[in-house]
Amino acid sequence: MQSTITVRYFAMLRDFSGKNDETVSIEAGTNAGDIYLRLAKAYGFPLALIDVRVAVNDEFTSASHPLQDHDILVFIPPVAGG
């Protein structure tokens, strides 16, 4: 059974994707890391998965977090400030 999630982009990931968010189709057993790797390849993200924070439904979690239909997935790159 195919499900969909919403991926939201921030900072440099928004710049590389050219989008604020998008709907992504997932299959059973897909985790957050699987989606990051797919999107990194599609958009040329320069950061490795280990370099981004993962949040699902407004809670920080690990890249191995299994996704469910209608989840909201956010990848947060490091932010430098001054």
pLDDT tens sequence across 14-73: 999 999 999 999 999 999 999 999 999 999 999 999 999 999 999 999 999 999 999 999
Angle ∠(60,26,31) on CA atoms, nearest 5: 35
Q: Roughly how many angstroms between the first and final C-alpha of the chain, as a whole number? A: 47
For the entire predicted model, the pTM comes to 0.92
Confidence of residue 79 (pLDDT cuts 50, 70, 90): confident
Reading the block at residue 18, the tokens are 């050219």
**Residue length of the chain:** 82
Residues 24, 67: Cα–Cα separation, whole Å: 11
SS3 78: coil
Confidence of residue 82 (pLDDT cuts 50, 70, 90): low
Instruction: Fold for 2-76, please state it.
Output: Ubiquitin-like (UB roll) (3.10.20)
